[in-house]
Amino acid sequence: MTHPLIDRLTTELGWPRLTSDADVTAFVGRPGAHAIFVPGDAARNLETADVAVILPELKMAFQGRFDCAVIDDVAEEALREQTGVLKTPSILFYRDGRFLAGLPKVRDWDDYMSRIAQILALQPA
């Protein structure tokens, strides 16, 4: 991940960068709700930078109801296949170690707000 807006999430905002399945398991296994940003190829997909800017704003709008991490390139493909959310960029939501839902691609603000509220209301299967 070489895009400065993605790097900002880990350097300035202090979000963990998940580089392995073990990292993902540890991050999503903590109590509460969690979001993993799956950037994809920022050089080919211009929406990646947009989501890198939008996700911190969403976290603030939901007043800390979920924490965030960024999946590293080396672990991204396995996570996408595991969740079935193949399009990037995407945001994957978990609670207590279980996958809830994913939001692929850029959406408008109202769609993010309503979909994330629905996702956070879900109980893990």
Q: Print burial letters for 32-50: b (CB count within 10 Å at least 16), e (below 16).
A: ebbbbbbbbebeebebbbe
Q: Is the pTM of this model over 0.85?
A: yes
The full set of domains in the chain, from first to last, is 4-121 (3.40.30.10)
Q: Which amino acid is at 29?
A: G
Strand 90-95 to strand 17-18: parallel, antiparallel, or no bridges (unpaired)?
Answer: unpaired
| Per-run averaged pLDDT (10 residues), the chain, 125 residues | 88 96 96 96 92 97 96 93 94 95 96 97 79
Place of tokens 């956070």: 120
CA-based nearest residue to 61, from 8, 6, 110, 125: 110
Predicted pLDDT at 103: 97
Q: Which residues lie below 8 Å from residue 43, measured CB to CB, with a gap of 6+?
A: 3
